[in-house]
Amino acid sequence: MQVSDEVAIDIRNMNKWYGNFHVLRDIDLTVHRGERIVIAGPSGSGKSTLIRCINRLEEHQSGHIVVDGIELTNDIKNIDKVRSEVGMVFQHFNLFPHLTVLENCTLAPIWVRKVPRKQAEATAMKFLEKVKIPEQAGKYPGQLSGGQQQRVAIARSLCMQPKIMLFDEPTSALDPEMIKEVLDTMIELAEEGMTMLCVTHEMGFAQAVANRVIFMDQGQIVEQNEPREFFNNPKSERTKLFLSQILGH
Amino acid sequence: MQVSDEVAIDIRNMNKWYGNFHVLRDIDLTVHRGERIVIAGPSGSGKSTLIRCINRLEEHQSGHIVVDGIELTNDIKNIDKVRSEVGMVFQHFNLFPHLTVLENCTLAPIWVRKVPRKQAEATAMKFLEKVKIPEQAGKYPGQLSGGQQQRVAIARSLCMQPKIMLFDEPTSALDPEMIKEVLDTMIELAEEGMTMLCVTHEMGFAQAVANRVIFMDQGQIVEQNEPREFFNNPKSERTKLFLSQILGH
Amino acid sequence: MTDLSVPATTPFRPSMLIYDRRYRSMTFQVIVFILVMALAWWLVNNTIRNLAALGKDFNFGFLWQRAGYDIPQTPIPYTSNDTHLRAAAVGLLNTLIVSILGCIAATVVGIIAGVARLSKNWLIARLMTVYVEAFRNVPLLLWILIVFAIFTEVMPPPNAFRGENPTASMILFDNVALTNRYTAIPTLGMTNDPGSLDLGARITISWATLAFAVVLVAGWIARRMIGAWAQQIQDRTGSRPTTWWMSLGVMTVPSLLLIWYFGLHLIPPTLKGFNFTGGLNVQNGLVALWLALTLYTGAFIAEIVRAGILAVSRGQSEAAFALGLRPGRTMNLVILPQALRVIIPPLISQYLNLTKNSSLAIAVGYMDIKGTLGGTTLNQTGRELEAIVLMMGVYLVLSLSISAGMNLFNARVKLKER
Amino acid sequence: DTLADVKARGELNCGVNTGLVGFAAPDANGNWTGFDVDICKAVAAAVLGDPAKVKYVPTTGQTRFTALSSGEVDLLARNSTWTFSRDTDLKLDFIGVNYYDGQGFMVRKDLGVTSAKELDGATVCIQTGTTTELNLADYFKANNMTYQPVNIDSNAEGEQQYMAGACDAYTTDASGLAATRAAFADPENHIILPEIISKEPLGPAVRHGDNNWGDIVRWTLYALVAAEEYGITSKNIEELAKSSQNPEVQRLLGVTDDLGAMIGLDKDWAKRAILASGNYGEIFAANIGEQTPIGLARGLNAQWTQGGLMYAMPFR
Amino acid sequence: MSETHAQTVPFVRDTMLPPADPPVREAGAVRWLRENLFSGPLNTILTLLGGLIVWFLVSHFWDWFAHSVWNANSLAECRQIIAETWGEGARGACWAVIRERWNQYVYGFYPVELYWRPTMTFGLLFVALAPVLFSESVWIRRVVLVITTVLTLWLMVALGAPAAWLVFAAVVLVGAILISERHPAWLLVFSILYPLLGVWLLWGGSAWGPIMVLVGPVLGWIAWRLLGRVSSLIATIVALIVPLVWWIVFAGDAARDAESLVSLAIPAVDSDRFGGFLLSITIGVAGIAMSLPLGIVLALARRSDMFLVKTLAVIFIEFIRGVPLIALLFVASLLLNYFLPPGTTFDIILRVIIMVTLFSAAYMAEVIRGGLAALPRGQYEAADALGLDYWKAQRLIVLPQALKISIPGIVSTFIGMFKDTTLVTFVGLYDPLKSMSDAVRASTSWKGIYWEPYIFVGFIFFLICFCMSRYSMYLERRLHRDHR
Ligand SMILES: Nc1ncnc2c1ncn2[C@@H]1O[C@H](COP(=O)(O)OP(=O)(O)OP(=O)(O)O)[C@@H](O)[C@H]1O
Ligand SMILES: Nc1ncnc2c1ncn2[C@@H]1O[C@H](COP(=O)(O)OP(=O)(O)OP(=O)(O)O)[C@@H](O)[C@H]1O
Ligand SMILES: [Mg+2]
Ligand SMILES: [Mg+2]
């Protein structure tokens, strides 16, 4: 688990509004290559919005976001470049139900990266093996269990060979038995040194793999620290309250 | 917890097919009045099918099922008689959402047993008190939590004053906090001497109340024994494997 | 498999007819069957007795008698000397013409309106809402009458095009005249006419038409082949060659050559006597009916399209964006294939409705099958039983073939699920 | 047996046009008036003793004959042309002619057309399902001319099309043309061409096979015609019944013989029929005559004594 | 703001930032315009295009609407007034025709002095619908019933209803309001009685007819209760046969005898006096009321596992859905008499209602089938496990839920059917749209008037259908919320 000095994501002074509602306030965040960051916080605190800003699924209104050296502006080319460097896994998987698992995985490489189909399929199979479901390649997403679907979603992102992966509560829509298989996949990824930002409430996962835990509230970063310190010795009152709720449960 | 000698359910040589798929193979099972039987087994082993045969939600194709002295044949009168002796609680509660809790409980007594409404309501309140939710009588099922709904479902069955109760994974659709309240209700029932057949994976429950645990696999009864023996000293390989899976998890 | 028999303990008793589940459903069905048969017998018997009382018979012979009336718009040659059968055929073709044209136009209108209703542009979205609500909540008959009235009241009569200072003028380079009777459009002439193929029953097809059909089909196949070839290249190398100019070429060049070979040109309509001649006069009845059906059905289709697009969750496009797909690609590869599954079944039933609603042609004097077979023929021959039975049969066959097509499609695109 | 049915019902079901001014149309209150309607009233008066006991069933060109043959109406008084096939194949019985008509054309004056022979290539508005449709086809064929039909389904629609100039000529029975033209804001700008291209004897019809009922309707119509011939009007009828010495009048009004008994009615049937809305002449004058907006001359429909075709068979 | 470096300093925020306002260009009307109308070149073009369309429509029709004449006795007079007021050659709408003939558009040829009867019938319709359609919220029911009561009574007074009837209507309406506050389900009794009451009020005649019709089911119920103890099967059969026998054999005579003893007759109005919206609404409401039960039966039959029953239902539904309504109307007017015993004739309105009923029943069946399919299997199983038999399960568990789910579909079927009632013009009935307008135009004073009647009738149809569709959308949203 090496963290380099190279900066992968650099967010400065970033603000975002929904209409008149100030969702993200003066966000400053630097992520280094190979870092694994877990973002936690109460519901509505802007966690999802933050990571969706990073691949421009949401537009920020002031400040700067630089991903892998590319600043996110309204320039479509930059956005495209950033998006093909950044993979994203959603809470509800968002697999394409009309395509087989394999097609889900090869769609973007073929149409965005212009990879020959054969090669795209080979890569896809490699990643499907990594998430341990190569035998499901020919099935449709609707035929898989939730855990399997989420693993396909991860494989689909990996097929674009992104430098950074974003996860937005990847396990919260899953049945308890299936959470483990997805978390295992993510831990494996982390061990390979992938730069990851993960919104999650799985504190076990945070303790196991994160370099840093960021706690957000009311659109602001309230506290950040390495996991051990964060859990054992939270500084701010809000963090304490939050931790008592989710851990005491 | 007294078990009488009287036979409540007698299944002999029963077979069932779905199309060409042989789900239940040569089932032989005798249940005495007052016995509490837990049925366990891997998914797809035919547990649900077996207990659904007992009140003829499924039709068996050969062999005999005698419930409370009445043989289940295609004779509608017999089926009706058996059904009003046997209560059933489903995994997904299956309450009637358009009726209040009280109406859910009085519906069958009024329309099947022809009990006067007043009396049916009194009985219903009695059972609602037993499952500890008399105050919810006027609400609609949609307004209750899962655990409360399942307890209503139990009360609804009890209102028909059945001699035998069947439970099909009554707690598996519930959040962990709610499982306990339902299990408590069931334990209480068991203590009153109700004949019960319960498909469940709650091994704590099995150990606490069952007279007998039946283990099924591939449509057959593989092993049956009293709970202590069953858990501590399983005989067959399959049972051992299964127990290691569900207990180790 | 082994023995599937019932336990032998229950010999048959008559009471099982009612109390045994297996026999009861049979008993019930037998009773229903007897009742239905009795009803059918009663109806048929009544009909026979009524026919006898009126001294009539059930006989389709009238179809071969001389029709004696004229039809304004005849896709196949027809005069008043032809039989009622041929008149019915003309009517059927007219029904098909307005239905097919209507389905095509309604789809276009519906898709545009449905997409526009979802537009972020406030004005456009509101306008489309007004359009959709106005057409959905007012009887179709009214729209047909109003559109027809607009044509008769607003358009100039042919003689307004006449004289030194005509009050009306033709449009599209003097090729098309909009009048209050018809829209006069040019016909196609050939300097090098190859003659025509006789299909019998005075129905002919020009060889030129056939040639064009062949060339167009061949062009289409060639386009598909180019597409497949491009796909192959893409699969091999990853980048797709630009093929639009090749596709355009195979689609158009042969046709252009044919046009040049046959010397195809437009013969514009000219005003002669009371009316325009030389061109093709498309009756306003047809145009009004077509337009009203289009706008009316279009409003319903707009709702279907809107619902279909909304049914594809936002997450799908976000996932595609997150993978780096451009909006256009996302639409083609992700949104449309999913939306279509939702859209097509109700869309087809709108086609069905449109076809059936075309029977309102009677209100604007457009002679469809209802106007010929179920109208004038019925009236002149007094064969209401035969004519209506025949007409309903025709509609039924039309509808059933449309819904058979729908079922086939549905079975093919159904999403696979657990 | 229609007569018994009507008497039992206490009401005469009479099929009429859905709306043709002068012949049959409901007014703003739903009261029916017109030339055909008065026939219904006369029959109702003769049979039931009360001209108001009529239920008017509006019929379209499509539904009229079926309404009669199915028994929905007892009598069809809906300006229908008496033709061979209708009388035989359609199983109707026309019981007489109440209006001798013929098909004509109306055109705008500024079209400059003076004869139907000049209509080659014209657009002609025509009501579907009528004999006029067939006549039109035959006429143009016979004269080796072409035309473009515009099929419309009601008279009101046809007028609208014609007025808007959607057709050069409007063709229907001459009486209808006159009625239509009369109602225009500018009748002087429209002319009815001199050619009458067909014979259109319009008359009431009854179901085939019930001869007694046919007789009743037929002789009610004749009674109206005869009344005009003998000068019996609704005003002087009471007086004539007492004073007239004409034996035919006496027979007609039931003063002497009891003709009514022969058709299953009472003595006064004809008197009541005439009283309902007057004799044929009065009915004509009140609904479509020259004093009305429709303004039809008697022409062929004058009494035979006046050079017309109205000729009641003798009451004897 | 601290430099947030993972390896080095942990970061803790001491003071929370307050929410700030968005940058100016993100707020106010400017933003609204920018976002909604001019957010890009394409959108700007579209906006201009839309503006053009609006301008075109307004500029072409505005003067026509602006120059409306409400008081005139004929079209000629109208035109004269327009020419005088707005100058020669001005165009204008002549709404005077509506003013003069509105009663015909609404009531057809119904006797003027009896206009209050259809009005009252229509008002009571809302009472009958209240427990079915407005069961969702007390508030809506209250508003609907109060408005109905006020409007109905006011209109009845205005139309000169007799005092006794006013009292009757007031009692029913006010009673309905009171009952619906406490026991809305009791109003269902009125809903069941309403069809008979409605028929009697509209067509008039002796009240004994409907009463004797009602006696049939009552006798059936008594028989069922009496025999229920012996055998439920026999009881059911007898309970079905008794009313039939009663209706066919005895009801007619009984009604006549009762009428001669105690007369309960109000003036009869013949079917041929029905027209305009009265006709449309009568056919529409009768059609829907009868097609609903038929549709339910068909839907159940189509889902049955009995092959023959299912096949028959499929054939019927597909047949009806495969032919245009207008063809069925022609069957009603031309062929129905062939299919009945020689000599039977009955009212054309009744025949049309039968056909319309069959037509919408087929559509209704499909709608309800959807509702049935949406019901989870567990509901059926729970009913079975409780020992309810098929019919009880359907009646108590399945249908109440399935029908509720289907309400939006049922309403839109009704809208479609209501619009289709205009087609009766082709069989010679006076629908408000074509026949009535033709009849108005047939009079010399209004010959040539074209747009105004159409616009008026279209507007009324729009109003009714739009309100219904909005209401059903509201219900649909509510249902969605409740099912969560
Ligand atoms: N499209 C939108 N328009 C307006 N407000 C929005 C929109 N999306 C989110 N919000 C609001 O922004 C705030 C932050 O939302 P966000 O989804 O980022 O929260 P979160 O921390 O991810 O919460 P959760 O744990 O529930 O996912 C919330 O108050 C939410 O209501
Ligand atoms: N209606 C049906 N048609 C065909 N096969 C069925 C049907 N219902 C169940 N099966 C099959 O029968 C087998 C036994 O099913 P059953 O539901 O009894 O298993 P189970 O032991 O209850 O499993 P679980 O623990 O998952 O509930 C399974 O393989 C299942 O796929
Ligand atoms: Mg979130
Ligand atoms: Mg199970």
- Strands (DSSP E) along E50-112, which ranges? 68-69, 93-94
Please state whether beta strands C177-178 and C182-185 pair in parallel, antiparallel, or not at all (unpaired): antiparallel
The nearest alpha carbon in chain E to B162 belongs to E386
Answer whether A128 contacts ligand 1 (Cβ < 6 A): no
C177 and chain D in contact, CB less than 8 A: no
Is pLDDT above 70 for C16? Answer: no
Phi, then psi, of D296 in degrees rounded to 5: -85, 140
Q: Is the Cβ–Cβ distance between C182 and C155 less than 8 Å?
A: no
pLDDT > 90: percent of chain A: 21
Count other C-beta atoms under 10 Å from residue E195's C-beta.
16
Domains of chain C as residue ranges with CATH: 61-159+282-418 (1.10.3720.10)
Nearest C-alpha to atom 28 of ligand 2 is from which residue? B44
| Cβ atoms of residues E84 and E248 within 8 Å | no
Distance CA D309, CA D302 (A): 6
Structure tokens at E207: 């009240």
Q: Measure in Å the smallest separation between the Cα of C15 and chain E Cα atoms.
A: 12
Q: Do chains E and A touch (3 or more CB pairs under 8 A)?
A: yes
Angle (CA) E20 E21 E26, round 5°: 140
A residues 84-123 closer than 8 Å to E (CB): none
- Contact list in C for residue D65 (CB cut-off 8 A) is 382
Ligand 1 site-directed mutation target among A20, A47, A242, A246, most atoms within 8 Å of CB: A47
Q: Chains meeting A at 3+ CB pairs closer than 8 A? A: C, E
Tell me the backbone φ, ψ of residue A89, rounded to 5 degrees. Answer: -120, 130
Work out the number of other CB atoms within 10 angstroms of the CB of residue D64: 26
Residue A122 neighbours by CB distance under 10 Å: 12
Rounded CA-CA distance D104/E224 in Å is 70
Of B83, B95, B111, the CB nearest to E385: B83
E91 Cβ neighbours under 8 A, 6+ residues apart: E63, E64, E67, E82
Closest CA to B166 of B157, B179, B175: B157
Interface B:E, Cβ pairs < 8 A:
59
Is E390 exposed, middle or buried (CB count within 10 Å of its CB: 0-12, 13-18, 19+)?
Answer: middle
pLDDT in tens, B178-221: 778 888 888 888 888 889 999 988 888 888 888 899 998 888 89
With a cut of 60, say whether residue A185 has pLDDT above it. Answer: yes
Q: Is C9 on the interface with B (CB under 8 A)?
A: yes
DSSP string, E276-309: HHHHHHHHHHHHHHHHHHHHHHHHHHHH-S-HHH
Mean pLDDT in chain B?
A: 86
B108·E397 Cβ contact <8 A: no
> Which residues are found with C-beta within 5 Å of the ion, ligand 3?
A 48
Please give the mean pLDDT across all residues of chain C: 84
Per-residue pLDDT of chain D (316 residues; tens, 9 = 90+): 888 888 888 889 999 987 777 888 888 777 888 889 999 999 999 999 888 889 888 887 777 888 888 788 899 988 888 888 888 877 788 988 988 988 999 998 888 888 888 888 888 988 877 788 888 888 988 888 888 888 887 777 788 888 888 888 999 888 888 878 877 778 888 988 888 888 889 889 998 888 889 999 999 999 999 999 888 888 888 888 888 888 888 888 888 877 888 888 888 888 889 988 888 999 999 888 888 877 788 888 898 888 888 888 888 8
Contact C189, C267 (CB under 8 A): yes
Q: Quote the CA–CA distance of E429 and E326 in Å, as a whole number.
A: 13
Chains that touch D (3 or more CB pairs under 8 A): C, E
CB-based contact D100:D48 (threshold 8 Å): no
Q: Is the minimum CB–CB distance between C4 and chain A shorter than 8 Å? A: no
Measured between CA atoms, the residue of chain A closest to residue E31 is: A19
E238-272 exposure pattern, b = at least 16 Cβ within 10 A, e = fewer: bbeebbeebbeeebeebbeebbeeeebebeebebb
- CA B4, CA B20: separation in Å to the nearest integer? 39
Contact C322 A88 (CB under 8 A): yes
DSSP state letter for A172: T
Q: Confirm or reject contact between D189 and chain E (CB < 8 A).
A: no
pLDDT at res. E428? 81
Residue B143: is its pLDDT beyond 70?
yes
Which E-chain residues 339-378 have CB contacts (< 8 A) with chain B?
376, 378
CB contact under 8 A, A144 and C325: no
pLDDT at position A113: 85
Chain A: nearest CA to C324, how far in angstroms? 5
Q: Which atom of ligand 1 is nearest to the CA of A49?
A: 18
Q: Reply yes or no on whether the pLDDT at B248 is more than 60.
A: no
Distances (CA, A) of C229 to B62, C26, C216: 60, 59, 20
Instruction: Please say whether the beta carbons of A37 and A81 come within 8 A.
Output: no
A63 reaches E (C-beta below 8 A): no
Q: CA nearest C360 in E: which residue?
A: E326
Q: Does ligand 1 come within 6 angstroms of the Cβ of A45?
A: yes
Write the residue in E309, E451, E454 that is nearest to C29 by C-beta.
E309
Spatial neighbors of D314 by CB under 8 A, at least 6 apart, are D248
Band the pLDDT of B246: cuts 50, 70, 90: low
Among the residue ranges A241-245, B125-129, C352-356, E172-176, the one predicted with the least confidence is A241-245
Domain E269-484: CATH class, spelled out: mainly alpha
**Residue B44 CA to ligand 2 centre (angstroms):** 5
Parts of chain E with a pLDDT under 70: 1-9, 24-28, 136, 480-484
Element (H, E) at A205: helix A203-209
pLDDT at res. E4: 43
Ligand 2 geometric centre to CA of E388 (Å): 25
Report percent pLDDT > 70 for chain C: 94
Q: Is the CB of B201 under 6 A from ligand 2?
A: no
Nearest to C10 among B22, B61, B73 (CB): B73
Rounded to a whole number of angstroms, the distance between the first and last alpha carbons of chain E is: 44
| A211: pLDDT strictly greater than 60 | yes
Query: For residue C6, is pLDDT > 60?
Result: no
Residue D19, H or E segment: none
Q: What is the pTM of this model?
A: 0.86
Judging contact as 3 or more Cβ pairs under 8 Å, the answer for C and D is yes
pLDDT per position as a tens digit, E36-70: 777 777 778 888 888 898 898 888 888 888 888 88
Q: Are D294 and D21 in contact (CB under 8 A)?
A: yes
Q: State ipTM.
A: 0.84
Contact assessment for residue D17 and residue D46, using Cβ atoms and an 8 Å cutoff:
no
Ligand 3 mean position to A183 CA, how many Å? 18
With CB atoms and an 8 Å threshold, state whether D128 touches C284: no
Contacts of C344 (CB under 8 A, 6+ apart): C406, C409, C410, C413
Q: Nearest-CA distance from C44 to chain A in Å?
A: 51
Torsion angle, alpha carbons of A232, A236, A241, A244, to 10: 0
> What is the per-residue pLDDT for E483?
45
Pocket test for ligand 2, best of B17, B38, B39, B47 (most atoms within 8 A of CB): B47
Residue of E nearest to B52 (CA): E385
Contacts 24+ apart (CB under 8 A), E141-147: E141/E180, E141/E184, E142/E177, E142/E180, E142/E181, E145/E173, E145/E176, E145/E177, E145/E180, E146/E177
Q: Which tokens sit at E357? A: 């009923």
Reading the block at residue E75, the tokens are: 């079209």
- Where do you find CATH 1.10.3720.10 in chain E? 269-484
Tell me the CA–centroid distance for residue E191 and ligand 1, in Å: 48
Residues of chain E found within 8 Å of residue A220, distances taken between Cβ atoms: 13, 16-17
Q: Which of C51, C116, C141 sits opposite E423 (nearest CB)?
A: C141
Does residue C417 register a pLDDT over 70?
Answer: no
> CA angle E460-E465-E469, nearest 5°?
150
Cβ–Cβ below 8 Å for B76 and C21: yes
Q: Cβ contact (<8 Å) for C375 and D128?
A: yes
Chain E: residue whose CA lies nearest to C126: E50
Bridge partners of D173? D103
Using a pLDDT cut of 90, give the percent of chain E over it. Answer: 15
Query: Would you call E381 and B57 a contact, using CB atoms and an 8 Å cutoff?
Result: yes
Q: Is A231 on the interface with E (CB under 8 A)?
A: no
In this structure, how many other beta carbons lie within 10 angstroms of the beta carbon of residue E370?
Answer: 14
Q: Ligand 1 within 6 A of A200 CB?
A: no
